[in-house]
């Protein structure tokens, strides 16, 4: 038998143990090992079979790196069929996370037990897939149509006690594995429990019908706009409702195989691995280990500071929230209370959990209270003078070895660090608003930042369930530096003749969460306006890239908060509508700047926005501001609403073909006469040498 799966007899039980670190993924060797063990167990005089795993978790799914390659037999459905057909009861014993194919493996067993800390789930949808080893057919039979659809289309992990209440598992064990599971199995034998196959069960009537399915299809086309897999999951459940089990399985399998070959799944798998790669920082001293972080200070109780405080409290880390005066602090704490209250009202958090999280946040107006914290994050007004003052003060009060972080979006972290006597302890931690929700965290490595500070920041980011990405110092780091090029195109497309709703429509059709002009209205047009007021004409750059925004602000149209910006907003519903007055403003500005307006097609609008991101991305890579193309993709997907099923701007460029992208940029340069459209040197070099971004990455090592 393979090294990965062991079969042994313990008294009357046949025990199958899977051992394939780190997460017991169902690679080919594991699949064939299980099949062999199950077959062997049929022939001996064991009374029941127990399947359990060694290491930190039960099987966490199929081996994601095997997708897109030919499937080597036995396939997981074949293994599952053999388990389900067993003539003696098979019992799965779950610890850690039984996910995807791992949970489907347990569904082919006749009984399931789990330790209290375990989770089960079918997260395939997050990889652009659907459960492909019986999940879509067995889960509805077990827990009904609606609950099954909720589980499979959200991909959420279900904790053991809830899984038992739903009927996904039979028993939450007290005591440790394997003993507790073996005892449960002995109870099953003693109680005369025989095989119990989900394939023979009926989907509970009244748990959902065709109408239910239609409602899900409609809702998912909004909530998971543009995504194929969620719709296919509904199709599979429909088949489970209407067809015999084996036909349902065959249908599911065909859908699954198609998904594994889809561009959407390739993009989402790319992001899965990118997220794990991003944590690995190159060129660090291998001996650098994380500093301990058990209490955090946050300076500034505004929207940003409050959101950051919640992100830590949500992960169980106590926070001291500092504000200059009591009024500001009270307002900040009230906002936090309101946010938690809303989560409770929406049923996403229990009232007691919310209040215990809130209790982790202590307010203060006294810098001395930061004397013992392990990390401080400054989230004050975006001004170099103000930030320097804060860091000088921190340098006085913080203990030796405390990490001093700034949440600046644009300012030079080296200059901020230089205001202290310990630049090695200074780092950028750039959160995105709302910071308790948005997953991106840019970790900005300044010139003198110590290696162990970077190690700490990356590990801490993961601990508070963010996606940390390393960035170097430059204006805007990774995300905002790219955003500038993108936002500029929105302005230029407008003055050249595209209406705001055409521009936003082209980008939301592509899958962006919001269009650039709707985002501008949401953030407030006055923010950019004020920032520009501080600049010289030369620093402001080409007036065509801001004249419309300026004109709107001067008319009192600051965006959603004043009921009008690029659009008009219904004061009650906040619904957005097209405003002819804006077209007139745009027309006047075009005339004033000598721009001849024309009709732009959506393809041009889309390319100008997305390729502006891509071209800047290549410059960022070449300069070493980002470590990898995948890091840039994570930034754009998790911080700026880029559609995850397109994998991020760099993945998109690779899929489209670097040569095609390069030609398109050259065409845009010719058409506009603008130098900034010239392909970034790295892009040109890769195209000239016929290399991919992966090739380039491999050469960096």
**Residues in touch with ligand 3H9 (CB under 6 A):** 22-23, 25, 57, 60-65, 76, 97, 99-101, 104, 123-124, 127, 129, 131-133, 135, 276
Going from the C-alpha of 356 to that of each of 62, 304, 457, the distances in angstroms are 37, 21, 25
Give dist(CA 566, CA 519) in Å, integer: 10
Phi, psi of 626 (to 5 degrees): -115, 150
Identify which of residues 118 and 129 has a Cβ nearer to ligand 3H9 in the complex: 129
Minimum Å gap between C-beta 129 and ligand 3H9 is: 6
Give dist(CA 370, CA 363) in Å, integer: 11
Identify which of residues 104 and 579 has a Cβ nearer to ligand 3H9 in the complex: 104
Report the 10 Å Cβ neighbour count for 195: 16
Identify which of residues 76 and 453 has a Cβ nearer to ligand 3H9 in the complex: 76
Residue with tokens 């900034």: 676
Minimum Å gap between C-beta 698 and ligand 3H9 is: 16
Query: What one-character DSSP code corresponds to residue 9?
Result: E
Identify which of residues 105 and 304 has a Cβ nearer to ligand 3H9 in the complex: 105
The answer to whether residues 168 and 99 touch, using CB atoms and an 8 Å cutoff, is no
Active-site annotation holder among 36, 124, 228, 238: 124
Give dist(CA 92, CA 115) in Å, integer: 11
Minimum Å gap between C-beta 280 and ligand 3H9 is: 7
Going from the C-alpha of 239 to that of each of 19, 108, 137, 197, 234, the distances in angstroms are 35, 19, 8, 19, 9
Going from the C-alpha of 23 to that of each of 54, 61, 343, the distances in angstroms are 9, 8, 32
Is 124 annotated in the active site?
A: yes
Identify which of residues 46 and 255 has a Cβ nearer to ligand 3H9 in the complex: 255
Give dist(CA 317, CA 300) in Å, integer: 18
Angle, CA of 630, 635 and 641, to the nearest 5°: 120
* Token pair for 148: 């099954």
5 pairs with which residues across the strands?
18
Indicate if the alpha-carbon torsion angle 549, 618, 432, 272 is positive or negative. positive
405 pairs with which residues across the strands?
377, 427
Going from the C-alpha of 42 to that of each of 24, 48, 106, 340, 372, the distances in angstroms are 24, 9, 18, 54, 62
Query: What one-character DSSP code corresponds to residue 383?
Result: -
Residue with tokens 């010289």: 536
Going from the C-alpha of 28 to that of each of 1, 80, 107, the distances in angstroms are 13, 14, 20
Minimum Å gap between C-beta 36 and ligand 3H9 is: 18
Minimum Å gap between C-beta 278 and ligand 3H9 is: 10
- Nearest CA to 686 out of 618, 589, 608 is that of 618
Identify which of residues 131 and 520 has a Cβ nearer to ligand 3H9 in the complex: 131
Per DSSP, the three-state class of 375 is strand
Per DSSP, the three-state class of 81 is helix
- Nearest CA to 606 out of 618, 614, 598, 596 is that of 614
Going from the C-alpha of 543 to that of each of 112, 143, 491, 548, the distances in angstroms are 66, 61, 10, 9
* Token pair for 333: 């704490």
Identify which of residues 24 and 560 has a Cβ nearer to ligand 3H9 in the complex: 24
523 pairs with which residues across the strands?
none
Identify which of residues 66 and 369 has a Cβ nearer to ligand 3H9 in the complex: 66
Residues 6+ apart with CB under 8 A from 289: 452, 455
172 pairs with which residues across the strands?
114
Give dist(CA 48, CA 621) in Å, integer: 57
Identify which of residues 104 and 489 has a Cβ nearer to ligand 3H9 in the complex: 104
Give dist(CA 144, CA 149) in Å, integer: 9
Identify which of residues 278 and 304 has a Cβ nearer to ligand 3H9 in the complex: 278
Q: Would you tell me the crossing angle of helices 263-278 and 245-260 to the nearest 10 degrees?
A: 70
The DSSP line for 587-623 is HHHHHHTTPPP----HHHHHHHHHHHHHHHHHHHHHT
Per DSSP, the three-state class of 39 is helix
Active-site annotation holder among 104, 228, 442, 489: 104
Identify which of residues 22 and 690 has a Cβ nearer to ligand 3H9 in the complex: 22
* Token pair for 335: 């906002």
Identify which of residues 57 and 137 has a Cβ nearer to ligand 3H9 in the complex: 57
Is 179 annotated in the active site?
A: no
Catalytic residues: 104, 124
């Amino acid at each position: 038998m393979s090294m990965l799966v062991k079969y042994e007899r313990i008294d009357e039980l046949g025990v199958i143990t899977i051992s394939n670190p780190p997460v017991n993924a169902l690679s080919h060797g594991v699949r064939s090992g299980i099949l062999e063990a199950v077959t062997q167990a049929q022939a001996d005089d064991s009374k029941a079979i127990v399947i359990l795993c060694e290491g930190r978790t039960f099987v966490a799914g199929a081996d994601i790196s095997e997708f897109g390659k030919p499937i080597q037999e036995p396939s997981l459905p074949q293994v599952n069929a053999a388990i389900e057909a067993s003539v003696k009861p098979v019992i799965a014993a779950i610890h850690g996370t039984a996910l995807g194919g791992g949970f489907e493996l347990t569904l082919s067993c006749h009984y399931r037990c789990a330790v209290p800390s375990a989770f089960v789930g079918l997260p395939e949808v997050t990889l652009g897939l659907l459960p492909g080893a019986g999940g879509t057919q067995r889960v509805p039979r077990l827990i009904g149509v609606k609950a099954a659809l909720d589980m499979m289309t959200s991909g959420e992990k279900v904790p053991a006690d809830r899984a038992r209440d739903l009927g996904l598992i039979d028993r939450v064990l007290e005591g440790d594995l394997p003993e507790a599971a073996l005892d449960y199995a002995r109870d099953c034998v003693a109680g005369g429990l025989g095989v119990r196959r989900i394939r023979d069960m009926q989907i509970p009537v009244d748990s959902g019908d065709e109408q239910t399915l239609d409602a899900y299809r409609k809702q998912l086309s909004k909530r998971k706009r543009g995504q194929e897999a969620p719709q296919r999951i509904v199709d599979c459940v429909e088949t489970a409702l209407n067809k015999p089990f084996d036909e349902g399985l065959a249908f599911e399998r065909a859908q699954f195989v198609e998904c594994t070959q889809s561009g959407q799944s390739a993009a989402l798998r790319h992001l899965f691995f990118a997220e794990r790669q991003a944590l690995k920082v190159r060129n660090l001293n291998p001996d650098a280990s994380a500093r301990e972080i058990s209490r955090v200070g946050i300076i500034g109780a505004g929207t940003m500071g409050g959101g950051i405080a919640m992100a830590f409290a949500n992960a169980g880390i106590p926070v001291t929230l500092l504000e200059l005066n009591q009024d500001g602090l009270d307002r900040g704490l009230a906002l936090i209370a309101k946010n938690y209250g809303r989560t409770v009202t929406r049923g996403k958090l229990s009232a007691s959990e919310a209040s215990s999280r809130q209790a982790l946040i202590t307010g203060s107006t006294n810098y001395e209270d930061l004397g013992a914290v392990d990390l401080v994050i400054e989230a004050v007004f975006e001004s170099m003078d103000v930030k320097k003052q804060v860091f000088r003060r921190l340098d006085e009060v913080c203990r030796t070895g405390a990490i001093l972080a700034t949440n600046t979006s644009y300012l030079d972290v080296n200059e901020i660090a230089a205001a202290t006597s310990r630049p090695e302890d200074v780092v950028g931690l750039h959160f995105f608003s709302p910071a308790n929700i948005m997953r991106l965290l840019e970790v900005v490595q300044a010139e003198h930042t110590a290696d162990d500070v970077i190690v700490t920041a990356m590990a801490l980011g993961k601990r508070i369930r963010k996606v940390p990405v390393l960035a170097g110092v430059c204006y805007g780091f990774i995300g905002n530096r790219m955003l500038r090029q993108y936002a500029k195109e929105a302005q230029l497309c407008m003055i050249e003749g595209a209406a705001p709703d055409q521009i936003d429509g082209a980008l939301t059709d592509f899958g962006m969460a919001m269009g650039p002009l709707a985002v501008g209205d949401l953030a407030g047009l006055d923010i950019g306006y004020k920032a520009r007021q501080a600049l010289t004409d030369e620093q402001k750059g080409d007036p065509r890239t801001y004249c419309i925004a300026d004109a709107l602000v001067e008319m009192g149209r600051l965006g959603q908060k004043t009921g009008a910006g690029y659009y008009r907003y219904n004061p009650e519903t906040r619904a957005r509508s097209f405003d002819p007055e804006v077209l007139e403003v745009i027309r006047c500005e075009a005339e004033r700047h000598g721009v001849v307006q024309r009709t732009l097609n959506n393809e041009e609008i889309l390319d100008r926005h997305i390729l502006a991101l891509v071209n800047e991305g290549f410059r960022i890579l070449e300069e070493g501001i980002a470590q990898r193309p995948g890091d840039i993709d994570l930034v754009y997907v998790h911080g700026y609403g880029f559609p995850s099923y397109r994998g991020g701007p760099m993945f998109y460029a690779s899929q489209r073909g670097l040569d095609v992208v390069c030609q398109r940029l050259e065409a845009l340069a010719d058409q506009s006469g603008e130098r900034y459209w010239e392909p970034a040197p790295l892009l040109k070099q890769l195209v000239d040498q016929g290399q991919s971004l992966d090739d380039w990455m491999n050469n960096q090592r």
